[in-house]
Amino acid sequence: MRKQNSFSQLTWILLTSIVLCIPMQIHAAGHKHGKHNSSTPKTCTKADSLATLKCSHGPNAVFDTNGRLWLAWAFGGHVYVNFSDDKGESYSSPVIVNKTPEPISAKAESPVKIVVDNSGNLFVSWTMKLPKRFSGHIRFSRSIDGGKNFSAPLTVNDHLEVTSHRFQSMSVNKQGEIFITWLDKRDLLAAKKAGKPYTGAAIYYTYSDNNGQSFHPNIKISDSSCECCRTAMAMDKDGLPVILWRHIFSKNTRDHALVKLTDKNLVGKIHRASFDNWKVDGCPHHGPDISIGDEGTYHLTWFNNAPQRHGLFYAHTSDQGNTFSTAVSIGDYAAAASHPQVLSTRQQVYLLWEEFDGKQSSLMSMRSDDKGKNWSTEKVLLQTKATNEHPLLIHDGKQAYAAWHRPGEDYRLLPLEN
Amino acid sequence: MKKIIWFSFFCALSLDAIAQQPINNFTHGSYKQIVNQYKQQPFVMVLWSLDCPPCYKELELLADERRKHDFNLVLISTDGADARNEVASVLNKYNLQSVNSWLFDEFSSQHLRYEIDPAWYGELPRSYLFDSVHQRKSISGVLSTDQLPK
């Protein structure tokens, strides 16, 4: 009798479990199905797919003084660097930067960064993902032998607790001094521990004056930056960087702030650079860009989405941020104009952005021949399937180019009209 | 004793399975499907992502409000199919695993965003409050409780 009881009990338990477990199986099946629709094309998701620029994430590009195009990109736990001597027609074999693999965050808003100094030294930085959500370290490596070998990566942020140190920008000046800025949540963490309120993240920077062998202690620029938009940095004519970022003004107004270092160790006055008054307790994932002309004009572009003032904007300042030109709207808001870039060369200023018509993405550009006062009509450079990577503006000293990447397709380099 | 342990184990598995809704794959046509699912009913559709700190505030608020009273809620993560496990674990953490949940098949896909709303630039969280005739109001940023259905 006892045996029969335990048998029927066990049967009941098993049957119940089988019936009740069905939804879980469906859930698991849904997961399997989803995997086939990954954002990366199938040719790039095979286990044996090679580390190629085509299949990379977050590529970034820069020309050296000899006109060689250098690219840095992420693939499967490594950062790679390769180059092209024929303006993107062909590429060298990639060289691994970090020999030991590590989790790398290289999405559109925060790609790998590469800069090259006048002596041809290459500097690469990226964000290493840490186990906790939103957390990361800013990593750095250099090559002083023309890209053949890279140094063991070092962590640039000197606060090493597991929190967010992400969205870095990097520039090098004519003296070869390297500046890196990033969004940093060490102060938010400290405030939380102390039970105090803290808005947004902070923005920090550091620099190296020994060609990237080491970096100076981190210096805070400001509290209360927006926490999920790319930062932007450009080198002023005196060799000190100017930094532009999305800031949180008052409670939740996400406009932009600009600062110039007045010395390598000294943060200058912080200026408000946009006045669109976008009040949002949210993540725009949409940072600004800055470029500085030889004569010292700062050219700025950004996105905002306030009810009254929305879309892409351009403005410039000739007095280091004390006054700004009237911000002009660029692109078609109805066509989702987004992710603007600006580049100032000796003669021209270029603007570049994406638009989307529901089917395909367009790469749009405009040119100014008078330092940003007047602009040409906008031009469609390229139409392609939508992509999550954002376009870049680069130049080789003679010619400006738009660079754009869609995972699984060739890297595009398009010359812009002079 | 053994039987009790087995029973507890199966019960735990089964309860988890009951509470857990499958996360639907959000692809071309899914937006229309969702709207049709709530014919003549008001509903709240919230887009969020793992990489958006304020989105967690929003999830917490939604979970709190749903504890107080039930309303039709659709959650759509824009993270892409690769993030399915992580998305599921966040929904579990906020006790939102029984909500009608969807996941973009491609990270922040421009096509899918456009299908929902050409005027949405991808900022998150992004909420749409649909009334019973499906006139909708869009809100960027974390909702406040007074914006949610009573």
| Domain harbouring B125, CATH code | 3.40.30.10
Q: Is residue B116 part of a domain?
A: yes
CA B3 to the chain's CA centroid = 38
Q: Give the number of other CB atoms < 10 A from CB of residue A14.
A: 12
DSSP letters spanning A343-389: EE-SS-EEEEEEEE-SS-EEEEEEEESSTTSS-PPPEEEEEES--SS
B90: Cα within 13 Å, side-chain hemisphere: 26
pLDDT value of residue B108: 78
Spatial distance between the Cα atoms of A307 and A316, rounded to a whole number of angstroms: 23
The answer to whether residue B149 sits within a structural domain is no
- Asked if B123 lies within 8 A of A285 by C-beta distance, the reply is yes
Q: What is the pLDDT of residue B57?
A: 95
Does residue B46 sit within a domain? yes
Query: Would strands A241-249 and A253-263 be described as parallel, antiparallel, or unpaired?
Result: antiparallel
Does the pLDDT at position A340 exceed 50? yes
Tell me what ipTM this predicted complex has: 0.79
Per the CB < 8 Å rule, is A37 touching B81?
yes
Answer yes or no: is B16 within a domain: no
Q: How far is CA A288 from CA A128, A255, A279, A341, B7, in A?
A: 22, 10, 17, 8, 57
Residues in A 35-54 with any Cβ partner in B closer than 8 A? 35-39
In terms of Cα–Cα distance, which of B112, B57, B40 is closest to B80?
A: B112
Residue B150 within any structural domain of the chain: no
As a whole number of angstroms, the distance between CA A378 and CA A364 comes to 7
Tell whether B3 is covered by a domain. no
Q: Which residues of A touch B124 (CB under 8 A)?
A: 282-283, 285
Please give the structure tokens belonging to residue A207: 């620099």
Helix or strand run (H / E) with residue A8? helix A2-35
pLDDT class of A36 with cuts at 50, 70, 90: very low
B50 and A133 in contact by Cβ < 8 A? Answer: yes
Average pLDDT of chain B to the nearest whole number = 88
Among residues A285, A282, A317, the alpha carbon closest in space to that of A301 is found at A317
Domain coverage including residue B113 = 22-143
**Which residues from B are below 8 Å from A362, CB to CB?**
none
What is the band of A10 on the pLDDT scale with cuts at 50, 70, 90? Answer: very low
pLDDT of residue A134: 87
Q: Which residues 11-70 of B have a C-beta within 8 angstroms of A? A: 13-18, 20-25, 27, 49-55, 57
Chain A contacts in chain B segment 117-136 (CB below 8 A):
118-119, 121-126
Task: Give tens-digit pLDDT for B44-95.
Answer: 999 999 989 999 999 999 999 999 999 999 999 999 998 999 999 999 999 9
Chain B contacts in chain A segment 211-230 (CB below 8 A): 227-228
Is B17 within the bounds of a domain? no
Is some CB atom of chain B closer than 8 A to the CB atom of A306? no
In a mutational test of the B interface, the residue from A3, A283, A356, A387 whose CB has the highest number of chain B CBs within 10 Å is A283
Q: What pLDDT is stored for residue A46 in this prediction?
A: 60
At a CB cut-off of 8 Å and minimum separation 6, what does A2 contact?
none
Q: What is the pLDDT of residue A304?
A: 96
Name every chain B residue with its beta carbon within 8 A of the beta carbon of A307: none
* CA distance between the termini of chain B: 48
> Is B48 contained in some domain?
yes
How close B70 comes to chain A (CA, Å)?
22
Q: What does the alpha-carbon distance between residue A189 and residue A166 come to, in Å, rounded to a whole number?
A: 15
pLDDT digits (tens, 9 = 90+) for A226-273: 999 999 999 999 999 999 999 999 999 999 999 999 999 999 999 999
B positions 61-120 inside 8 Å of A (CB): 80-82, 84-85, 88, 103, 105-111, 114-115, 118-119
What's the pLDDT score for residue A28?
Answer: 33
Q: Would you call B51 and A252 a contact, using CB atoms and an 8 Å cutoff?
A: no
Q: How many domains does chain B have?
A: 1
Instruction: Lowest mean pLDDT of A367-376, B4-13, B30-39, name the range.
Output: B4-13
